[in-house]
């Protein structure tokens, strides 16, 4: 998994470079082929500001213009209104889905909204922490539902790519 994430990160960096340099479709196709031939990745698509594709059993979508939720994302875990997805991926081994998003908002309201959303969707809150960190408030929620376990981290991020808050979701199958 570490190799794949490195390839994804390299691909995103290359996509940003190619997109920013205005090299056109020929350079994009060359970069896609280089990533595909670098190891386990195939079906790589570089677009302005991002990259998506498949590496082994992991799919990814990283886009500074807004990525999309993984195909297997649980409907009950809709992101807060106004959240802009920056990075998403999913893996079959082990099964998981991850989303990183940015949002403008007040951390207490966003955190409480996610907590309410989880409980209303039938999740049991396993851990709940909202505390001061080095750069502001940071919150962490872990919850278990009938089908999924979810961990959400909400942080104040004045230097975030999108908004003043960063959201990180990790969803895995529920144990049992």
Residue 87, both tokens? 């990075």
Residue 107 has pLDDT above 50, yes or no: yes
Question: What is the arithmetic mean of pLDDT over 18-39?
Answer: 47
Residue 48 has pLDDT above 70, yes or no: no
The mean pLDDT value of the chain amounts to 78
Residue range(s) in the chain whose domain bears CATH number 3.30.2030: 66-176
Instruction: Give the DSSP letter string of 71-135.
Output: TT--GGGPPPTT-EEEEEEEEETTEEEEEEEEE-S-HHHHHHHHHHHHHHTTPEEEEEEEEEETT
Question: What is the arithmetic mean of pLDDT over 69-73?
Answer: 90
If we measure between CA atoms, which residue out of 173, 155, 60, 50 comes closest to residue 110? 155
Cα–Cα dist 148/3, whole Å:
27
pLDDT in tens, 151-176: 999 999 877 778 999 999 999 999 86
pLDDT in tens, 132-145: 988 789 999 999 99
pLDDT, position 44 = 72
CATH code of the domain made up of 66-176: 3.30.2030
Q: Cβ distance 68 to 128 under 8 Å? A: no
């Amino acid at each position: 998994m570490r190799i794949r994430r490195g390839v994804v990160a390299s691909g995103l960096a290359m996509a940003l470079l190619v997109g920013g340099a205005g090299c056109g479709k020929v350079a994009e196709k060359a970069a896609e082929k280089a990533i595909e031939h670098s190891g386990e990745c195939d079906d790589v698509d570089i677009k302005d500001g991002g990259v998506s594709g498949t590496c082994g059993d992991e799919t990814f979508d990283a886009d500074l213009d807004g990525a999309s939720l993984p195909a297997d994302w649980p409907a009950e875990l809709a992101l807060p209104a106004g959240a802009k997805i920056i990075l998403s991926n999913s893996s079959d081994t082990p099964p998981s889905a991850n989303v990183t998003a940015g949002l403008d908002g007040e951390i207490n309201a966003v955190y409480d909204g996610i907590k309410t959303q989880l409980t209303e969707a039938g999740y049991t809150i396993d851990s709940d922490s909202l505390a001061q960190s080095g750069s502001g408030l940071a919150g962490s929620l872990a919850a278990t539902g009938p089908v999924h376990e979810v961990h959400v981290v909400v942080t104040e991020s004045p230097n975030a790519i999108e908004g003043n808050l960063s959201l990180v979701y990790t969803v895995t199958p529920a144990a049992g």
